[in-house]
Amino acid sequence: MRCSRTFLAPNSCWGGRKTGRCEKTLHLSTQREREKKSKARRKIARKIPPPKMRKQTQRELNPHPDPNTSRLGMMPGARVGRYPDGALRSGKYLTTSASSCGAGSAGMEGSECLQLLLRRCREAKDCAYCPYSRFPVGAALLTAGGEIFSGCNVENACYSLGVCAERIAIQKAISEGHTRFRAMAIASDMSDFITPCGACRQVMREFGTDWDLYLTKPDGTYIVKTLQELLPLSFGPEDLHKA
């Protein structure tokens, strides 16, 4: 029952004005608000499935890319594109330290495997250790066997000991026995397309020139360049036998 007494609210948020609601009424109103919030929380909690069910649902809805439908190879056609931001934000693709994608001769454009490669380089960027340059970079490397290895730049107080994301991804792949590569995607926060430094290009050159580099921007666009285009007239292992 509403109380007809009038009192001066002590709290400054009331502005010192008189109100027709007594302390008991204010208390009941606050209690009702708490109960409403508590019910809303319980309703949300009921909608969230338990962890075990959540994992099962994720496996059913978001399987690994099918090697038979997302073959990997070099892109003979379009060299500019855009990957779906929604898929990147939604966590649609399962990522592990070495995710698998089928290898083949068909183009990557628009394939799930390309989206996975681009996603992995963005995720790697978030792990970058760059307290000095504040310039995070992530890279994802696709091997000839269809596995993906990611890397991020790692800086050091002795500046010259810092290592680029592209070289870390290559070193991880080599440490697992891979020396043939098909593509690499690189991501950063800069407004323009990110490109590898000269040292990274030379390290990539060690393992051939006929593989693609996906150079991305934060807005989701990318361009594709071959290593031959980024490092023309290069020096490689075969040149050592020409002396």
Per-residue tokens: 218: 């934060």
Does residue 229 have an active-site annotation? no
Q: Which residue bears the tokens 């959540």?
A: 54
From 23, 166, 176, 238, the catalytic residue: 166
Q: What's the burial of 188, exposed, middle or buried (CB within 10 Å: 0-12/13-18/19+)? A: buried
Measuring CA to CA, which residue among 4, 7, 5, 3 is closest to residue 18?
Answer: 7
Q: For residues 112 and 142, what is the distance between their CA atoms, to the nearest angstrom?
A: 13
Whether 95 and 112 have beta carbons less than 8 Å apart is answered as no
The Cβ of residue 184 has, within 10 Å, a number of other Cβ atoms equal to 28
Q: For residues 71 and 200, what is the distance between their CA atoms, to the nearest angstrom?
A: 27
Q: What's the burial of 51, exposed, middle or buried (CB within 10 Å: 0-12/13-18/19+)? A: exposed
Q: For residues 2 and 30, what is the distance between their CA atoms, to the nearest angstrom?
A: 14
| Residues catalogued as catalytic | 166
